């Protein structure tokens, strides 16, 4: 008669070891509201899926330049994307508000300063990167404030749980060459995966990278990594930010 080889009280997975986690790299820029939507969804799932979620601050302008995908003058396509952004934000429960002057944000202010800020946090205090990224998205895409100013960066850092002395160190690191190189490295890594915009999600399945663009490909991502897509609110959690 067949006899179970598993010791009582222990599962088969405990005996042979659990399945290795799938590494998922999330390349983003806080100037991108669609990146915010994708970010929040991934954060809801990071402990439900068997994954190692790695946040990768990058510079969207650098990706577009390398991919020859430069910003265009507002067209009917861009107008549609703004309407679609509002719909997507509502569907996924992310409090995105349209900024008053998107051209000034994209073409004049840019995101170099806030992305160096996040890169410095990633180097020094990576445990605060998630919260700091969210705080900056809230600053620009919810309250329409200037996220290139020291005051807004400082406020975002405090919201993320950083102390005054830690923020002083972050400000020091923002202008350091190794911080600039780290941001450039993340940006070029995304480009090498085939990125042409933000957000870019890269899942490493069987040691092969699979790239997904945008904030509406989660069902395909799940198919790739063998996980279940349960909609924008797993476990029926419909609470919004």
Instruction: Give the tens place of pLDDT for each residue, 43-91.
Output: 999 999 999 999 999 999 999 988 877 665 556 556 667 788 999 999 9
In whole numbers, what is the pLDDT of the chain averaged over residues? Answer: 89
Q: Which residue has the higher pLDDT, 124 or 64?
A: 124
Residue 137 pLDDT more than 80?
A: yes
Residue 4 within a domain: no
Residue 165 within a domain: yes
When mean pLDDT is compared over 9-23, 26-40, 63-77, the highest value belongs to: 26-40
Which range among 100-104, 123-127, 213-217 shows the weakest confidence by mean pLDDT?
A: 100-104
Closest CA to 217 of 197, 239, 238: 197
Q: What residues does 52 pair with on adjacent strands?
A: 23
What is the average per-residue pLDDT within 175-196?
97
Residue 41 within a domain: no
Contacts of 46 (CB under 8 A, 6+ apart): 53
Contact (Cβ atoms closer than 8 angstroms) between residue 201 and residue 22? no
What is the average per-residue pLDDT within 210-218?
96
- 158: phi > 0 → left, psi -120 to 50 → alpha, else beta; which? alpha
Look at residue 2 in the predicted model and tell me its pLDDT: 31
For 22, 65, 227, the CA distances from 148, given in Å and listed in that order, are 35, 21, 38
Instruction: Please give the residue range of the domain that contains residue 71.
Output: 52-217
Q: Which residue has the higher pLDDT, 10 or 132?
A: 132
Residue 69 within a domain: yes
Look at residue 4 in the predicted model and tell me its pLDDT: 37
Q: Which two tokens stand for residue 53?
A: 């979620």
| 22-28 vs 208-213, strand pairing mode | unpaired
Contact (Cβ atoms closer than 8 angstroms) between residue 196 and residue 63? yes
What gap in Å lies between CA 132 and CA 39, rounded to an integer? Answer: 12
Q: Which residue has the higher pLDDT, 4 or 19?
A: 19
Residue 94 pLDDT more than 50?
A: yes
Residue 123 within a domain: yes
The DSSP secondary-structure symbol of 145 reads: -
Share of the chain above pLDDT 90, in %: 77
Q: Tell me the DSSP string of 51-101.
A: EEEEEEE--HHHHHHHTT-------HHHHHHHHHHHHHHHHHT------S-
Residue 21 within a domain: no
What is the average per-residue pLDDT within 114-139?
98
Q: Which two tokens stand for residue 128?
A: 């605060």
What gap in Å lies between CA 87 and CA 27, rounded to an integer? Answer: 23
What is the average per-residue pLDDT within 171-199?
97
Peptide bond into 199 cis (omega under 30): yes
Residue 237 pLDDT more than 90?
A: no
Closest CA to 29 of 123, 147, 143: 147
What gap in Å lies between CA 224 and CA 210, rounded to an integer? Answer: 8
Contact (Cβ atoms closer than 8 angstroms) between residue 91 and residue 130? no
What is the average per-residue pLDDT within 225-232?
96
Share of the chain above pLDDT 70, in %: 86
How many domains would you assign to the chain?
A: 1
Residue 14 within a domain: no
Look at residue 6 in the predicted model and tell me its pLDDT: 38
Residue 10 within a domain: no
CATH classification at residue 138: 3.40.30.10
């Amino acid at each position: 008669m067949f006899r179970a080889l598993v010791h009582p009280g222990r599962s088969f997975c405990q005996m042979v070891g659990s399945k290795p986690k799938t590494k998922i790299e999330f390349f983003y820029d806080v100037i991108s509201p669609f990146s915010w939507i994708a970010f929040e969804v991934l954060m809801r799932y990071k402990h439900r899926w068997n994954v190692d979620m790695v946040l990768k601050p990058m510079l969207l302008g650098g990706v577009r330049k390398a991919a020859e995908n430069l910003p265009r003058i507002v067209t009917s396509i861009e107008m549609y994307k703004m309407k679609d952004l509002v719909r997507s934000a509502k569907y996924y429960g992310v409090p995105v508000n349209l900024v008053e002057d998107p051209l000034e944000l994209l073409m004049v202010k840019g995101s170099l300063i806030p992305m160096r800020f996040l890169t410095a946090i990633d180097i020094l205090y990576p445990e605060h990167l998630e919260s700091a990224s969210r705080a900056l998205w809230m600053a620009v895409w919810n309250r329409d404030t200037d996220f290139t100013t020291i005051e807004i960066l400082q406020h975002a850092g405090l919201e993320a749980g950083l102390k005054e002395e830690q923020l002083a160190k972050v400000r020091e690191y923002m202008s350091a060459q190794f911080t600039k190189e780290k941001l450039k490295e993340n940006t070029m890594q995304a480009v090498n995966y085939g990125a042409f915009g933000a957000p870019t999600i890269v899942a490493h399945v069987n040691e092969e990278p699979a790239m997904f663009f945008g904030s509406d490909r989660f069902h395909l991502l799940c198919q790739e990594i063998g996980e279940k897509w349960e909609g924008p609110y797993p476990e029926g959690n419909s609470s919004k930010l």
